[in-house]
């Protein structure tokens, strides 16, 4: 049973374009939704996170959109750059109570 479903599995975007990665979750008790960025051979690093009391959170070029009724959230990377090429993971948890459950990841390639 996959609690967090992430799509697409891979994504190729032109430099300057918008990258969009989607996640859907099953457990309505989840209340913390982070995104992690991972470069090859490294551990993931927290990129941005959202809680269900807001529908959108923006940090620089990165935005999370959250749709509680649809049980979906997405990561938007504006003005995508080659340095953004990495694997991105969405995750969810019941904050302070359970470990993070991760999606399967999206490999993003930004080409010039």
Partner 1 sequence: DGGITQSPKYLFRKEGQNVTLSCEQNLNHDAMYWYRQDPGQGLRLIYYSQIVNDFQKGDIAEGYSVSREKKESFPLTVTSAQKNPTAFYLCASSRRGEDYGYTFGSGTRLTVV
Calpha distance 10→21 (Å, rounded):
9
Q: From the list 13, 24, 33, 44, which residue makes contact with partner 1 (rule: CB under 8 A)?
A: 44
Evaluate whether 47 touches 62 at the Cβ level (below 8 Å): yes
Based on CB atoms, which residue is closest to partner 1, 12 or 45? 45
> Least CB distance from residue 112 to partner 1, whole Å?
26
Which x/- pattern over 46-85 shows residues binding partner 1 (rule: CB under 8 A)?
x--x-x----------------------------------
Paired strand residues for 49: 34
Minimum CB–partner distance for residue 44 and partner 1 (Å) = 5
Burial readout 26-52 (b: 16 or more C-beta within 10 A, e: otherwise): eeeebbbbbbbbbeeeeebeebbebee
The answer to whether residue 102 forms part of the interface with partner 1 (CB under 8 A) is yes
């Amino acid at each position: 049973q996959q609690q967090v479903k992430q799509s697409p599995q891979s994504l190729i975007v032109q430099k300057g374009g918008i990258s969009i990665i989607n996640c859907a979750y099953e457990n309505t008790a989840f209340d913390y939704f982070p995104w992690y960025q991972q470069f090859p051979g490294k551990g993931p690093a927290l990129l941005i996170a959202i809680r269900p009391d807001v529908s959108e959170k923006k940090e620089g070029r990165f935005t999370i959109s959250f749709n509680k009724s649809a049980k979906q959230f997405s990561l938007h990377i504006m003005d995508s750059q080659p340095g953004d090429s990495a694997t991105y993971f969405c995750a969810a948890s019941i904050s302070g109570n359970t470990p993070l459950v991760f999606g399967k990841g999206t490999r993003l390639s930004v080409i010039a």
